[in-house]
Amino acid sequence: MLTELLQALGITGKYLFTRSVTVRYPEERRESYPRTRWRHKLMRHEDGLERCIGCSLCEAACPARCIRVVAEENTDEARYSPGERYAKEYEINMIRCIFCGLCQEACPVEAIVLREDFELADYERDSFRYTKDRLLEPGR
Amino acid sequence: MVTLKIDDQETTVAEGMPIIEAARGLGIEIPHFCYHPKLSVSGSCKMCLVEVEGLAKLVTACTTVVSRNMVVRTRSEKVKEAQRAVLAMLLMNHPLDCPVCDKGGECPLQDYTYRYGPGKSEFSDEKWHFKKPVDLSPLIVLDRERCILCTRCVRFQEEVAVHPEIEVTERGRGSFIEVARPEGFTSNFSGNTIELCPVGALTSRPFRFKARPWELTRSPSVCPRCGCGCNIWLDVREDKIMRVLARENSPVDGGWLCDRGRFGYRFVNHASRLKTPLIRKGEGFIPCTWEEAISRVIGGFKKVREVYGSESIGGLASPKLTNEELYLFQKFFQEVAGTNSSGYTLNGDLMIESLRPAACSGLRRFSFQDIDEADSIFLIDGDPSKDLPILDLRIKKAVKRGARLFIAGSEEIELSGFASASPIPVGTELNSVPEKGGKGGFDRGFSDEIRDSKRSVILLGCKIDPSAVESLCTLLKEFHSNREEGWISLGVLMPEANTQGAQDMLLKKGTDLFSDIQKINLSPFLTKCLFVARQEIPDIANLRNHLDFLAVYDIFPSETTRVADVVFPAVAFSELDGTYTNSERRVQRLFKTTRSPGDAKPLWEVMTLMAKATGTDWDFHSSQDVMREISEKIPMYRYISYEGIGMKGSYADGTVAGPRYYR
């Protein structure tokens, strides 16, 4: 009886002094991998024009049906993307999103991408409808 | 009849049928671009190549006619290789536009490439470039790079619309479609080229980039713009109509739509539509509830009735309303208000007497297909190109087939160019003789022509003198009874969507009421309070001074609503269930597809609420309930029921026009 008790205590003791695997979030953070799929971003070209051409292929590919795209025509005065068409409205419902990355795969111009920002918690349900201004990469 | 084998399946078809149609009858798809059953055969795209046993080379299925004991293979190795090659050639210069092209998702080129095409491209050079997009017209956008030169659009404009306004220019790789004349591409049927185009070369400017095909919900309806009643599909996204497509109902519209119907839907979603009932307060209006508005109207009616009597209450309805709305409209005014002064108007013009069956019994019941079979067509004081454009196409097709067209009218109309004799003045057609110097130099009057033609169709414009119609009918019945074979068919060109329905719902023609209104400068005016539904009254400001009370039911604010006491918001054609009766007395169903903005109600519901406010309880909870009473009370509609109408409409005498199925 005593031997088993001492053996068990020995195991506990051993683990008492080994390093724990706990990541002390938020002071410490896990290592992030290059192709990790979290918060979406609408990217731009080098010259500042938006990549998104409003084709809705991401909307069609999305299994959770959480993307909404309304397209519009580029004019010479108001040009947002190269080519004829751009997304006037672009909305992703982050609660419905399952972060599968199929939209990223479907996009023909690499406009919609999933990047590493996963700290997305918020208070209201409505604030999870990310509109284009929250998704578009800044810079132009 | 010819028996042949396609892909080891035997079939027997009519002589003269091309292989591609015989295959379609068996359910075998042969991919094609330039072929279209309603256009002449081009045989240029070479997509429909098939192998016929005994012939060394592949043949195009659209040009090759079936022959006895022919053996056709559509999926042999030779055919598959040819299909891959043809698609590779087409895609060689075709731009990589699928993500931005409006046709993507419903594109035959995409679909055939997926099913029959090569897996990858072997073309590494520069594609041919054009300036794009090009506006062929304010409605049609052309992308020359996408065009595969199937010439369906050119052939349609030339053969069906007979407005040869576009053409193929240049040769070889650099060919493109161009507008052929300086006046531009103004054809009233230009929108059909969008549906014909197998790629995204011709697209709709109003629909450009609005939605992808897979985002749209498709719903059937009937076009509300004229008395043809062409069947349409409404494509809806997020409760707004994005576009209108043709829903083929060949006996009515031949599968085509005119531009008015195709592009005339944007009023439905317009921001300035009336949303709530309004009550006058001083110079303006305040929004209110339906109960308040209705009690105000009933109050106004009652006050006028006390002072001036029942006949001083008047109602004016527009032929844009559905049968159910019109029926309850007249029921309210005749039974509840107790007045005879209710009627429908057509922009203030006189309407001809209703062609009740008694007047033309013994004649063949008129249907648009009579034009397809007639030997002679008589057009009396009407202009189908303006009023019923799709009939215009039918008449042109008949004339090309060999029918003779005679026109009576004072103005030069588009169809004058197709007539077999020069036009004669209206009113004299039965006896007078067309000028000798005119085309063909006929020296016979219309009556002679009618008597000697085996099959005649007479089309009357709606502005014709009512008394002339009676005498015409008598004469026609006399001719008709004296012949052994053939027939005479008499139809009226009803300009608005439901003019025939308005006549049938026991409304008297608007002449009594309107001539009353026109008398305002001369003698004491009878009508003192008026309810106007979906109609704008010319010179309303003047009229308003003579009215004690005016209530208006409409979709947009107008001059008429500005001077009203109470304004009701109306529903548009896609927001209610109902029926329209077209010019051949075919009753067709409208389906509720979108929600009205705000709190609009259909007129039949408004009339029920108004009757309830006077203490009369009607038991109508849906437009189908109203149709049940219509079929009981109006003898001409006794066989009409929503279950029976189906998707193709049914004639008022109960003959069902098509299969009784619902989507």
pLDDT per position as a tens digit, B634-643: 877 888 888 8
Structure confidence at residue B443 (pLDDT):
41
More confident of the two residues A3 and B338 = A3
Distance, in Å, from the CA atom of B640 to the CA atom of B633, rounded to the nearest integer, reads: 12
Residues 590-609 of B with CB under 8 A from A: none
B162 phi/psi in degrees, rounded to 5: 55, 40
Greater pLDDT, B354 or B367: B367
Which of B99, B133, B208 lies at the smallest CB-CB distance from A55? B99
Instruction: Dump pLDDT digits (tens) for B171-220.
Output: 888 899 999 999 999 999 999 999 999 999 999 999 999 999 999 999 99
Most confident of A54-58, B468-472, B545-549: A54-58
The answer to whether A10 contacts chain B (CB < 8 Å) is no
Q: Is B214 on the interface with A (CB under 8 A)?
A: yes
- The pLDDT of residue B507 is 61
- pLDDT at residue number B349: 45
B494: number of Cβ within 10 Å: 30
Mean pLDDT over all residues of chain B?
Answer: 85
Q: Examine the pLDDT at B604 and tell me if it is beyond 50.
A: yes
pLDDT recorded at residue B232: 95
Name the one residue in this structure whose structure tokens are 């004299």: B428
Q: Which of B144, B209, B240 to probe the A interface (max A CBs under 10 A)?
A: B209
Kindly determine whether residue A84 and residue B212, on different chains, have CB atoms separated by under 8 Å: no
DSSP annotation of B310 reads G
User: Over pLDDT 90: what percentage of chain B?
Assistant: 56
Q: What are phi and psi of B255, to 5 degrees?
A: 90, 0
Q: For B262-272, what is the mean pLDDT?
A: 92
B99/A109 CB distance under 8 A = yes
The DSSP secondary-structure symbol of A139 reads -
Encode pLDDT of B49-102 as tens digits. Answer: 999 999 999 999 999 999 999 999 999 999 999 999 999 999 999 999 999 999
Collect all residues of chain B within an 8 Å Cβ-Cβ radius of residue A72.
209
Q: How far apart are CA B467 and CA B353, in angstroms?
A: 8
Residue-wise pLDDT for B611-638, tens only, equals 999 998 999 999 999 999 998 988 778 8
Taking the Cβ of residue A115 and every Cβ of chain B, the question of whether any pair is shorter than 8 Å is answered with no
ipTM of the complex: 0.85
Q: pLDDT tens, B374-392?
A: 999 988 888 899 889 999 9
CA–CA gap between residue B79 and residue B81 (Å, rounded): 5
> Residues B522, B526, B528, B533: is their CA dihedral positive or negative?
negative
What is the rounded average pLDDT of the residues B286-300? 94
User: What is the pLDDT at residue B362?
Assistant: 59
* Mean pLDDT within B329-358: 64
A55·B104 Cβ contact <8 A:
yes
Amino acid type, A6: L
Summarize pLDDT for A12-35 with one digit per residue, the tens.
999 999 998 899 988 988 888 999
Residue B423 has pLDDT above 90, yes or no: no
Mutate to test the interface with A, among B98, B100, B145 (most CBs of A within 10 A): B100
SS3 annotation, B546-592: CCCEEEEEECCCCHHHHCCCEEEECCCHHHCCEEEECCCCEEEEECC
Q: How confident is the model at residue B357 (pLDDT cuts 50, 70, 90)?
A: very low
All residues of chain A having their beta carbon less than 8 Å from the beta carbon of residue B212 are 56, 59-60
Strand segments (E) across A6-128: 40-42, 67-73, 85-93, 112-114
Q: Does B129 touch chain A (CB under 8 A)?
A: no
| A103 has a chain B CB within 8 A of its CB | no
Q: Residue B613 belongs to what H/E stretch?
A: helix B603-613
C-beta separation of A108 from B99 below 8 A: yes
